[in-house]
Amino acid sequence: MSEEKKELSQAEKICMKMDKIGKKILIMSGKGGVGKTTVTVNLANALTEAGFKVGVLDTDIHGPNIAKMFGREGELLNQDVSTGEILPVITDNGIKLISLSFALQDPTQAVVFRGPLKLSVIKQFLADVQWGTLDYLLIDSPPGTGDEQLAVCQNIPALTGAIIVTTPQSVAILDAQKSVSFAREVKLNIIGVIENMSYLVCPHCNEKIHIFGKDGGKKLCTDMGITLLGSIPMEPALEETEDNGENWIKKGESVSGTAFREIAAFIEGTVKPTCSADIGYIPQKDDCTPSSCASCTENCPSRKKG
Ligand SMILES: Nc1ncnc2c1ncn2[C@@H]1O[C@H](COP(=O)(O)OP(=O)(O)OP(=O)(O)O)[C@@H](O)[C@H]1O
Ligand SMILES: [Mg+2]
CA 164 to chain centre: 11
Residues 281-293, mean pLDDT to the nearest whole number: 61
Instruction: Give the residue, by CA position, lying nearest to ligand 1 atom 29.
Output: 239
**Better-predicted residue by pLDDT, 2 or 193:** 193
Give the Å distances, CA to CA, from 76 to 20, 63, 122, 212, 244: 25, 17, 17, 38, 19
Query: How far apart (Å, rounded) are the C-alpha atoms in residues 38 and 6?
Result: 42
187 vs 109, which has greater pLDDT? 187
- CATH superfamily, domain at 10-273: P-loop containing nucleotide triphosphate hydrolases (3.40.50.300)
Nearest C-alpha to atom 5 of ligand 1 is from which residue? 239
pLDDT, residue 107, reads 85
Looking at residue 54, its pLDDT comes to 98
40 Cα: distance to centroid of ligand 2 (angstroms): 9
Return the minimum-mean-pLDDT range out of 22-26, 67-71, 109-113, 159-163. Answer: 109-113
Asked whether the predicted pLDDT for residue 119 surpasses 90, the reply is yes
For residue 282, give the amino acid letter: I
- Residue 18 — very low, low, confident or very high, per pLDDT cuts 50/70/90? very high
Where are the domains positioned within the chain? 10-273
Task: Give the residue whose CA is nearest to atom 15 of ligand 1.
Answer: 35
Q: Taking ligand 2, which is a single-atom ion, which protein residues have CB atoms under 5 Å away?
A: 36-37, 65
Alpha carbon distance 49, 28 (integer Å): 23
User: Which phi and psi (to 5°) does residue 217 adopt?
Assistant: -65, -40
Task: Name the 3-class secondary structure at 34.
Answer: coil
Q: Would you place residue 1 in the very low, low, confident or very high pLDDT band (cuts 50, 70, 90)?
A: very low
Query: How far does the centroid of ligand 1 lie from the alpha carbon of residue 186, in Å?
Result: 27
Residues with CB under 6 A from ligand 1: 29, 32-38, 60, 63, 65, 142-143, 196-197, 232, 234-235, 238-239, 242, 256
What is the per-residue pLDDT for 279? 82
Phi, psi of 230 (to 5 degrees): 165, 165
Q: Over 90: is that where the pLDDT of 294 sits?
A: no
CA distance linking residue 47 with residue 182, whole number of Å: 27
Ligand nearest to the CA of 259: 1
Which of 38, 62, 238 has most ligand 1 atoms within 8 Å of its beta carbon, as the pocket-test mutant? 38
Structural element, H or E, at residue 216? helix 216-224
Q: Which residues of 253-267 are buried (b: 16+ CB within 10 A; e: fewer)?
A: ebebbebbbebbeeb
**C-beta of residue 142 within 8 angstroms of C-beta of residue 60:** yes
The predicted pLDDT at position 286 comes to 59
pLDDT at 291: 65
The average confidence (pLDDT) of the chain is 92
pLDDT at 219 over 70: yes
pLDDT tens-place string over residues 20-59: 999 999 999 999 999 999 999 999 999 999 999 999 999 9
Residue 290 has pLDDT above 90, yes or no: no
Residue 8 pLDDT more than 90?
Answer: no
Measured CA to CA, the distance from residue 237 to residue 156 in angstroms comes to 36
Length of the chain: 306
Whether residue 133 is predicted with pLDDT greater than 90 in this model: the reply is: yes
Phi/psi at 229 (nearest 5 deg)? -75, -30
